[in-house]
Amino acid sequence: MTLAIGVLVLFSIISWASPGSGVLFNTILNVAQTAGDIHSNNTGTASDGTYWHLQLKTEGAPTEVVIQDQALAPGGYGGWHSHPGPVIVTVTQGTASFYESDCVRHDYPAGSAFIEDGGVVHNLRNESTTDTLRLANAFLLPGGAPRRIEEAQPPTCNLP
């Protein structure tokens, strides 16, 4: 009985998930884990003289850091998903179109960076019909947590 329920739940999750398309590669370059908490509090000055401040703090379980190299073909997309921690995304080629469940599009061209916050359902797409999208990502995750959590397509956004 427990096995049957487990299979039904797994099938339901898989059928509700929004799979990706056009992923050319998704290579994990490195996985490392901190020995304990991370505490960083830095200030500085940007080249234009403006103030800069970074605060980063983790507590409890070790943090797993995953470095990923990823490419999407023209028209490709990652599918609806979330992450258990933040992902720092850097766009190295093309333009990344980032959608949250409200279906508002945010474009990030090559040379830009943004953060996918943990727990936020989103879909990253390559809206170009000619150019490949390439990303270099840094995941900051609770130790041993999955890198990606499949999510259902939000009813508020009619994109695969």
Cα-Cα-Cα-Cα dihedral of 51, 141, 71, 104, to 10°? -70
Whole-number percent of the chain with pLDDT over 90: 86
Distances (CA, A) of 104 to 9, 32, 67, 116, 150: 31, 34, 27, 14, 20
**Per-residue pLDDT at 75:** 97
* CA 141 remoteness from chain centre: 11
Please count the structural domains in the chain: 1
- Answer whether 125's CB lies under 8 Å from 77's CB: yes
**Distance between CA 153 and CA 105 in Å, rounded?**
15
Segment 9-47, tens digit of pLDDT: 444 334 445 778 999 999 999 999 999 999 999 999 999
Domain-embedded: residue 8: yes
Question: 16 by DSSP, 3-state: which?
Answer: helix
94-153 pLDDT, tens digit per residue, is 999 999 999 999 999 999 999 999 999 999 999 999 999 999 999 999 999 999 999 999
Residue 107: which CATH number? 2.60.120.10
- pTM as predicted: 0.86
Q: Find where tokens 């997309």 sit.
A: 77
Q: Is residue 78 part of a domain?
A: yes
Domain-embedded: residue 43: yes
> Quick one: what percent of the chain has pLDDT higher than 70?
89
Domain that holds residue 123: 2-150
Q: Is residue 160 part of a domain?
A: no
Taking only the tens place, the pLDDT of each residue in 49-96 is 999 999 999 999 999 999 999 999 999 999 999 999 999 999 999 999
